[in-house]
Chains A and B, each alone.
Chain A
Amino acid sequence: MKKKVSVSGLALTLVLLSACTDSEETASAEDAGNAVDGIEAYIQDFQTEAEQLLNVEEDLQLDFEEDLANDSEGALLEGTGQVASNLSDREEILQSLDSIHSQINQELNTIGQAIEHVDAEELPNDIEEFSVGLSDYGAELSQFIDEYRHNLSTQSEYFETLSSEEADFADITDGIENVNDTHRAMNASWYELEDTLINMQEILANFEMPTPEEEGE
């Protein structure tokens, strides 16, 4: 099991992180330890947000039905209905995933600085391997976000089409087919994301960062 640094906690991590980003030369072994904890928390956050993405996505059909039922009130025409909220909620989640991904990168950056500047004896032997492994998987998180954004964009364009007064029945059915095709293509990306997060969690679980107390003994 990974040993935790004595100063843990997300809030403190964030404070330390912001300090790290201010100066490239301030990364210490302790900073690296905090960054490891931070990454663990961010991966959990990423998972939670991704789950939420799936949940909101699942509501789209009901939201669509509700908007069609309230079509005379302009739900689709004016983009004021449930579908618009659903799309907007998922865009917000994507922004949140973007942000989490950036924060993971920042933490990795901190670890990179520690590798560069801290005496090698103060850091675990496998920290570089740990950092590279997480970086590779971090790139996959970014790829997932891009793919989902494309998927969401297809959906937005579809509903934009339906907001036109000229839209007809074929627009509804053809568009549904297109949305479903793009959605199905996302299926593999979801499994890849799952594997990525599981692998990142495994790397974290198998990595030990010495605590400051241990260093002093």
Chain B
Amino acid sequence: MIKPWKLSAFVVAGFVATTLSISDVSAEEDAEETEQDVEETEEESEEADEETEEENEARLFAIPDAEEDLLTLPRLIPDRFTYDSGVDIEYPEDGVRGIFSTAHSAGGQKFTELVDFVDQTDLNAMVIDVKDDDGFITFETESEDERVQENSRDVITDVEGMMDTLEESQIYPIARVVVFKDTILGKQEPELSFTEGGNVWTNPGGSAFVNPFSEEVWEYNVEVARQAAEAGFKEIQFDYVRFPEGFGSRDDALNYTEGNYADSDMDRYEKRIAAVTDFVEYAREELREYGVKVSVDIFGVAAMYDEPNIGQSFAAISENVDVISSMPYPSHWGEGSLPGIRYPDLEPYNVMDYYSQVENEVLEELDNPPVSRPWLQDFTASYLPDGQWTSYDAPEIEAQIQALYDNNIYEFLLWNAGNNYTPGVDYKLGLDIDIAGAELMEDDEEMPEEGSEEESDEESDEEDSEDE
């Protein structure tokens, strides 16, 4: 399907082509003049180059530019310089393998069950909602920001106790902060959101978004992230770092500001990508003093091509984070949308193998590629048409993990909206992993077969949703 913005480009190209063909004579004259202009410009340019060369020859030293900094803040800052929350949990040496927990799970009885589950397996991390899909901040913070105070709810009633437990088990805590999907803030302050006919626009699911062009929104979310870091989270994972889905087809009907981007020479798509990317860069810089890592959740398809309508560029975002967590869930790909794979949900290995190769190619092009830590599907997509989905049990999850390992990706997160994770999964698949030393050793255990499409006898009837 041709995307609307591509369609616009075709229309413009067609218009230009038509204009040229109906004024041939004038075009020829123009061409002669243009050729002359080009020659003159080239001569001028050569002269300027020669002058510069002469000037350089006369110079004795390669003196740095007057505005050039001698020092910049290095990427790696030792812990002794950064904020000390008092929570001592190290980044897992063999890479992060985590699960997702809602705030209700983390703040309730389910928490003990999840901690035990992680303790008893090769998992080692937990992603916990700190700002949830509605926009609520899930624990009472000490922030002086009025918006943060107003939108905080005491869901995780004992953050300190939760951190103590995670510390005891050395479970690496990651704070999930849903950024631009924020019904609460959007409705409280419509000027920070998108409005239509005087009302805050909501998507078919009833969720409102706040405006990625708004730096007030950036600051608010970074303040939430700061509170998470002060509570002891070691990593901030931003989710919904984008414009609403389908924004491209309705942006003309919505009222919103482009803020500091309004006067830019960029087109509307470039502006969106710039705003989303700039937010990530801003957040990462603002959080440096806390010593936390910054990660972003992103559509799996974004690794294949930029998503200008929603402002996501996989490469641009990746350049500005420590960890990139794409969401290439097999169930989310359409029928035949991946080469050689008719029903993606039935082929977890092949989907993840194909995706990993695409992602690796993108990341290899970057100067400072982040760690790749994709989300894996630990839910059954029974909402798909019969014959196109399968129950996701241990073999399907292991198949996804195997595909990652086969593509040198050694970190992952498991998504299950209800936080009910499949038991009996071998998360390491016989690999001894030393991320720091980059040494990978296979032990004697037999590897599971690649591309397992084996269906479980037990059919799950849970209807999971996923973060995006």
Contacts and interface: CB of A to CB of B under 8 A. Distances in A.
B176 to A, nearest CB: 25
Contacts of B70: 57, 60-61, 179-180, 183
Interface string A129-168: 0000000000000000000000000000000001001011
B77 A68 contact: yes
A205 interface: no
A43 to B, nearest CB: 10
B60 A172 contact: no
Interface string B58-70: 1111111011011
From A58, A69, A172, residue with most partner B Cβ within 10 Å: A172
Contacts, number: 77
B78 A50 contact: no
Interface stretch (B79-87, B306-314, B420-428): B79-87
Nearest to A194: B60
> Is the contact region of chain A dominated by helix, strand, or loop, or is it mixed?
helix
Contacts of B64: 54, 58, 187
A198 B61 CA distance: 11
Interface SS majority for chain B: loop
B154 interface: no
B: interface residue count bin: 20 to 34
Interface in A77-112: none
A117 interface: no
Contacts of A172: 73, 77, 81
A65 B76 contact: yes
Given A169-B81, A169-B82, A172-B81, A198 B74 contact: no
Nearest to A187: B66
B270 interface: no
A18 interface: no
A194 B83 CA distance: 45
Nearest to A189: B63
A50 B61 contact: yes
A165 B289 CA distance: 16
B17 interface: no
A47 B64 CA distance: 16
B63 A167 contact: no
A64 B74 contact: yes
B81 A167 contact: yes
Nearest to A190: B63
B288 interface: yes
A41 B127 CA distance: 67
Contact of B78 (A58, A72, A191): A72
A180 B63 CA distance: 15
Given A183-B70, A184-B67, A187-B63, A198 B58 contact: yes
Nearest to A162: B81
A169 B74 contact: no
Contacts of B61: 50-51, 54, 190, 193-194
B72 interface: yes
B78 A180 contact: no
Interface string B68-107: 0111111111101111000000000000000000000000
Nearest to B72: A61
A170 B67 CA distance: 22
A116 interface: no
Given A47-B60, A198-B58, A180 B71 contact: yes
Interface of B: 58-64, 66-67, 69-78, 80-83, 288-289
Given A65-B74, A198-B60, 17 more contacts: A47-B60, A50-B60, A50-B61, A54-B61, A68-B74, A68-B76, A72-B78, A165-B80, A169-B83, A170-B289, A173-B289, A176-B72, A176-B73, A180-B71, A183-B70, A183-B71, A190-B61
11 contacts: A51-B61, A54-B62, A54-B63, A60-B70, A64-B71, A71-B78, A162-B81, A167-B81, A176-B69, A179-B70, A197-B60
